[in-house]
Amino acid sequence: MSYTIKEFQENFADDDACLEYIFKAKFSDFVCKCGRSKFYRVKGRKAYVCSCGYQISPLTGTIFYKSSTSLTNWLVFS
């Protein structure tokens, strides 16, 4: 089974969709220090926050961190 560029564009239409994918891949089982596991996107940043205020960035520790290349370009060529 092959994955076409059209399918990629449907699944990863923009950097927000790519960030959500990376977040779910890295933090699907993550539980905050307060005990909650629900995180919300921080508007205008590539980060997520728990209702207690604890923030995480899915790009920290990856090749994407501080890169000027868009996430869609990173993912399509990886």
Given a cut of 80, whether residue 60 has pLDDT beyond it is yes
pLDDT class for 71, splitting at 50, 70, 90?
very high
Distance CA 60, CA 11 (A): 23
- Say whether 45 sits in a helix, a strand or coil: coil
Q: Strand, coil or helix: what is 53? A: coil
Q: How far is CA 32 from CA 15, 24, 25, 42, 76, in A?
A: 25, 14, 16, 16, 31
Does 55 have pLDDT greater than 80? yes
C-alpha separations of 43 from 16, 17, 27, 49, 75 in Å = 11, 14, 19, 10, 22
